[in-house]
Structure 1
Amino acid sequence: MKHTPEVHTVPDIKLFAGNATPALAKKIADRLFCKLGDAAVGVFSDGEISVQINENVRGADVFIIQSTCAPTNDNLMELIVMVDALRRASAGRITAVIPYFGYARQDRRVRSARVPITAKVVADFLSSVGVDRVLTCDLHAEQIQGFFDVPVDNVFGSPVLLEDMLSKNLDNPVVVSPDIGGVVRARAIAKLLDDSDLAIIDKRRPRANVAQVMHIIGDVQGRDCIIVDDMIDTGGTLCKAAEALKEHGANRVFAYATHPVFSGNAAKNIAESVIDEVIVTDTIPLNKDIEALEKVTQLSMSAVLAEAIRRVSNEESISAMFKH
Structure 2
Amino acid sequence: MSNKFVVLSGSAHPEFAQLIARYLNTELGDCSCGKFSNSETSVIINESIRSKDVYIVQPTCYPANDNIMELLVLVDAVRRASSLHITVVIPFFGYSRRNKKEKSREPITAKLIANMIETSGVNRVISMDLEASQIQGFFNIPVDNLYAEPLIVKYIEKNIPATEKRVIVSPAVDGVKRAKLVSDKLNCDLAILDRQTKDDETDDMILVGDVKGCVAIIIGSIADTCLTLKIATQILKANGATKVYALCSHGELSGNAIETINSSDLEELVITNSIPQSDKVKACPKIKIINVAPMFGEALRRIIHSESITSQSSKFTIL
TMscore range, shorter length: over 0.9
The question of whether the paired residues in 2 share the 8 Å contact of 1:213 and 1:237 is answered with no
The question of whether the paired residues in 2 share the 8 Å contact of 1:190 and 1:197 is answered with yes
The question of whether the paired residues in 1 share the 8 Å contact of 2:248 and 2:272 is answered with yes
Find the counterpart in structure 2 of residue 142 from structure 1.
133
Which is bigger in relative contact order (C-alpha 8 A, separation at least 6)? Answer: 1
Find the counterpart in structure 2 of residue 231 from structure 1.
222
Mapped pair 1:35 → 2:27: yes
CA-CA distance at 1:318 after TM superposition? 2.0
CA deviations over 1:261-310 (Å, ceiling 9, x no partner): 00011011100001111101100012634432111111211110101111
Find the counterpart in structure 1 of residue 167 from structure 2.
174
Stretch moving more, 303-312 or 87-96: 303-312
Find the counterpart in structure 1 of residue 190 from structure 2.
198
Distance in structure 2 (CA, Å) of the matches to 1:203 and 1:211 = 9
Of 97, 108, 111, which residue of structure 1 is paired with 2:100? 108
CA-CA distance at 1:186 after TM superposition? 0.3
The question of whether the paired residues in 2 share the 8 Å contact of 1:201 and 1:241 is answered with yes
TM-score (norm 1): 0.93
The alignment partner of 1:320 has SS state of coil
Mapped pair 1:276 → 2:253: no
Find the counterpart in structure 1 of residue 14 from structure 2.
22
CA RMSD of aligned residues (A): 1.5
Q: Superposed, which structure 2 residues align to 1:1-324 within 5 Å?
A: 12-111=4-103, 113-167=104-158, 168-170=160-162, 171-193=164-186, 195-207=187-199, 210=201, 212-286=203-277, 288-321=279-312, 322=317
CA-CA distance at 1:319 after TM superposition? 2.0
Stretch moving more, 258-267 or 10-19: 10-19
CA deviations over 1:234-270 (Å, ceiling 9, x no partner): 0000110011001100011110011010001101110
The question of whether the paired residues in 2 share the 8 Å contact of 1:67 and 1:284 is answered with yes
CA deviations over 1:127-146 (Å, ceiling 9, x no partner): 10100010000000011000
CA-CA distance at 1:28 after TM superposition? 0.9
Structure 1 runs of 4+ off > 4 angstroms? Answer: none
Aligned residues: 312
Percent identity over the alignment? 41
Stretch moving more, 153-162 or 75-84: 153-162
CA-CA distance at 1:210 after TM superposition? 4.6
The question of whether the paired residues in 1 share the 8 Å contact of 2:205 and 2:232 is answered with no
User: CA 1:43–1:158 in 2, change beyond 3 Å: closer, same or farther?
Assistant: same
Distance in structure 1 (CA, Å) of the matches to 2:175 and 2:219 = 8
The question of whether the paired residues in 1 share the 8 Å contact of 2:223 and 2:253 is answered with yes
Distance in structure 1 (CA, Å) of the matches to 2:3 and 2:267 = 43
Query: Runs of 5+ in structure 1 lacking a partner?
Result: 1-8
Stretch moving more, 128-137 or 287-296: 287-296
The question of whether the paired residues in 1 share the 8 Å contact of 2:281 and 2:288 is answered with no
Amino acid at match of 1:143: Q
TM-score (norm 2): 0.94
User: CA 1:13–1:24 in 2, change beyond 3 Å: closer, same or farther?
Assistant: same
Query: Runs of 5+ in structure 2 lacking a partner?
Result: none
Stretch moving more, 154-163 or 253-262: 154-163
User: CA 1:11–1:278 in 2, change beyond 3 Å: closer, same or farther?
Assistant: farther
